[in-house]
Structure 1
Amino acid sequence: MDHYSKENFQLTHSIGFFLNRARNSLLMEMDAALKDLDITGQQMGILLSLTSGAASTPYELSKLLEIDTGLMTRMLDKLEARGLLARSRSVDDRRVVNLLLTEKGQEVAKRIPDVAPKVLNRRLKHFTREEFAEFRRLLAKFADA
């Protein structure tokens, strides 16, 4: 079923417009909230992905977080320069770069759960539990389309 056509499509009423606007607003709020940790919202995703074991290489992070490899490299460079992560070559395949959080990176990652939920909960404060569950379900469905 098509929901848009050339006759009814209006940029400022499209799902893409609202998703982009919501993402940008949320990232600005998250960046501000994470300022004391000296990381950004996107860098938070990297740290948490490494902490949870969801990814361990730049390639895996790029796929998981849907960040192009060039931007990923630049973000990893910044995190490494600040002493939050370290890179090492795989002993099995020298082409593979493994990422590990440093002790400092682990400390920062441990503090993220004190910050991020507050930002998200402010955005979701007018949602009922049922609306929140449905919103999450629909976003997941949209993301997997």
Structure 2
Amino acid sequence: MSNPETDPLALDRQVCFALAVANRGVLAVYRPLLEPMGLTHPQYLVMLALWEQSPRTVKSIGQALQLDSTTLSPLLKRLQAADLIMRERSRDDERQLAVTLTEKGRALRAEAEKIPPAVVGRLGVSEAALEDLHRALTHINQAALKAGALPR
């Protein structure tokens, strides 16, 4: 048996393992906060992009979230069925599909503003620690993008 402190394949030394566990844990914190809003975490991310800018093209949302259209389309369909967004052909370019918040979608933002502080509180981690983590993850994501591991 190898020494876990020096073994390059020790599970506890793997960045991918730490990220996978952290991802599951953080999403588990979000789940009960988003359920009363009728949103899944991926739907919440779409709404965040639209609360930043609406209308927005499907392509623009995909770029912002680093998702391809095959992943994004079902999310948009469910958000439209929930009357949170409208999808329609762009007047400027009919090849583009424009996504706009509905009144109900805009109103949901007020409720969503409670999510970030609730997440911080439930995690029990300082905002400074989360900001440091965000900076490190953003750097890793940019490196993965440059390496071609994420969609552009």
**Unpaired segments ≥5 residues, structure 1:** 1-6
Instruction: Check whether the contact 1:33–1:115 (CA below 8 A) recurs between aligned residues.
Output: yes
Instruction: Give the share of equivalent positions with the same residue, in percent.
Output: 25
Written as runs of structure 1 = structure 2, the 5 A alignment for 1:1-145 is 8-53=8-53, 56-123=56-123, 125-127=124-126, 129=128, 131-145=129-143
The alignment's TM-score, normalised by the length of structure 2, stands at 0.79
The alignment's TM-score, normalised by the length of structure 1, stands at 0.82
Q: How many residues align?
A: 137
Shift of 1:127: 3.8
Q: Secondary structure in 2 aligned to 1:94?
A: coil
**Unpaired segments ≥5 residues, structure 2:** 1-6, 144-152
Shift of 1:59: 1.5
1:44-82 per-residue CA deviation (whole Å, 9 max, x = no partner) reads: 111121111187122211121122321210000000011
Instruction: Check whether the contact 2:84–2:102 (CA below 8 A) recurs between aligned residues.
Output: yes
Shift of 1:121: 3.5
Q: Secondary structure in 1 aligned to 2:44?
A: helix
Q: RMSD across aligned C-alpha pairs, in angstroms?
A: 2.1
Which has the larger displacement, 70-79 or 11-20?
11-20
Instruction: Check whether the contact 2:54–2:101 (CA below 8 A) recurs between aligned residues.
Output: no
1:55-113 per-residue CA deviation (whole Å, 9 max, x = no partner) reads: 71222111211223212100000000111100111112111001001001111122101
